[in-house]
Structure 1
């Protein structure tokens, strides 16, 4: 090898491959693509999560009852086919930091988004229904009607309709028309009915009871009997006077209506054997008033009990037309029975 050759630098071929800068650019692109895919997947998941399907028809509602949880509610709307998951509403509720649930029925018609669903259930007005309790209804009848018309458990109402000693508040739940939350709180309905009773109670109620040697609750029992025994307001005061006259003479009241509280009659009549039915509500056997009211009286019967006129009547009879006829002696009463129950008017 000559000297010129020895001084010539060796030329080498470049190694195939990417430069570090090129590697960094490619990695950034991959990361970017992956990030875009993650964003797209997240967006798809979010859209699926908040997607709701509007529901229609008579079942397009949910009922939130006392003690229900957001989890239970979330499962309800999923069961209706409204959300994509049994947990969707629950997760959204937590995301929105929603508060506690409010009882009632909520109509879901035209609710087209998760946000609208949340706003309805978190702060929207629940449905209310108007329920009328006729005068003379018992607490049991009120409970049945409330369940049928307002979706409030009859058992829950009967549990709430008791005093501190567990005694049924018969006679003290004023029969009226009430707007109540559908599937709402039974205790709230009872409180309103008690409040209405206190509002309409004659101001001299306790004084009038004391004048007759009765407690306020005993006078309510009299009003409940008047309610059940009469059809027309004009007859109520004299019927009340008959009750007071018999009590004063320590006569048995002998009223079918008190027995009817515990023993249903056949067509409004009792057999001789049934009149011997052993119950403190059987005023054919037990003297004085029954142990509780036999219904929830209306205002006319309450006023009649509080302000019954003095009379000399000890008997009364409801004629076929519903009006009452009164008698001073049993002989007069027997004639009335013969006259009016034999088809007269």
Structure 2
């Protein structure tokens, strides 16, 4: 009796399995090649977009950058003027290199210029036009007050601004456009999706009819620039940028002096690591929707996910717009062992490692707040 060869002895099922394996291997190989081709293609596209439009050109183009132009605006203006290939690539290149200080002004640029040369030139601008309107948002301002400030200075009433900034379709557009925004801001527990993301600064607009979208873009881009600046700290953190921005907003509302910001940030992180409630008064005020001078025992019972006396962990979102100093403090908190701090009316902050000492400080100085309120 003759034996069968291995190949002849294969069952139909084994043959099919072999064919499937070949198909899978071929498919994987194709996918790898496509991914590699896409990566190379993307790299080549971006590289070419960063090259001079025409390195042999001797043409000089007059380009005017209005006051209040964002990186996106500047990219569009330069692309329209024919001195760069792609305005969007320019915008992201500026963010990637963390370039700041691009100035309004009138420039003589050429299609032959390197993109880095153009960026350097844009830092030397001279303002040619006075702004049609401007407004200043102080650090620690609530969203509601920001809306009112913009309405009082610009061409749009508060109701129109509120309506636009709460429109889900518009919010999704912003989330798609800006890396700093995620679906987290649409959490139903958050009172205002853009709370904390409208960066506190002075804004000037040449166009007296600047749209709500344009105004909003300027403010969010400022926050995105901060995120890019601290991208390394965000990547190394156990928390998302949204959570860090929320903590920064608490620091902003708590600290009066610069030296206290990293210390208070350190306390907040210590409490989170210990599984303790944050128990900070500004979150209670925000939960109540009132700028309270003092927090009463009754206030502490406010039912809200923002009330850090009632809920552990970080609140659902920021309670105000923090400035750069408070964001920096959260990104680089002081390494200390404090779990408690008490702020006196004059601005002094007293730190303690245990509750008993903290209670003694509270009992000693609490009358100061009562007296200050009565004055």
Alpha-carbon distance in structure 2 between the residues aligned to 1:156 and 1:265 = 23
Q: Matches of 1:341 and 1:183 in 2, distance apart? A: 50
Do the aligned residues in 2 keep the contact of 1:281 with 1:290 (CA within 8 Å)? yes
2:211 matched to which residue of 1? 185
Structure number with greater Rg is 1
* Aligned counterparts of 1:126 and 1:175: Cα–Cα separation in 2: 21
Note the residue ranges of structure 2 that are not aligned, 5 or more in a row.
Answer: 1-128, 173-182, 187-192, 370-375
> What's the counterpart of residue 244 of structure 2?
219
CA distance in 1, matches of 2:223, 2:156: 21
CA distance in 1, matches of 2:290, 2:136: 26
Tell me the SS of whatever aligns to 1:242.
helix
TM-score after normalising by structure 1 = 0.59
Q: Tell me the SS of whatever aligns to 1:270.
A: coil
Task: Within 5 Å, give how 1:292-303 maps onto structure 2.
Answer: 292-303=317-328
1:216-264 C-alpha deviation (Å, 9 max, x unpaired): 1111101011001111111000000010000011101111111211314
Question: Aligned partners of 1:148 and 1:197: how far apart in 2?
Answer: 23
Segments of 5+ residues of structure 1 without an aligned counterpart are 1-124
- Equivalences for 1:12-91 in 2 at 5 Å? none
The two structures have a TM-score, normalised by structure 2, of 0.54
Q: How does 1:236-315 map to 2 (within 5 A)?
A: 236-265=261-290, 267-315=292-340
Structure number with higher helix proportion: 2
Contact 1:316–1:327 (8 Å) recurs in 2: yes
Q: Note the C-alpha offset of 1:197.
A: 1.4
Q: In the TM superposition, what is the alpha-carbon distance from 1:195 to its structure 2 partner? A: 1.0
- CA pair 153-184 structure 1, distance change in 2 beyond 3 A: farther
* 1:139 corresponding residue in structure 2: 143
CA RMSD of aligned residues (A): 2.4
Q: Secondary structure at the match of 1:325?
A: strand
Structure 1 pair 335/211, CA: closer, same or farther in 2 (3 Å)? Answer: farther
Conserved? CA contact 2:140–2:321, under 8 Å: yes
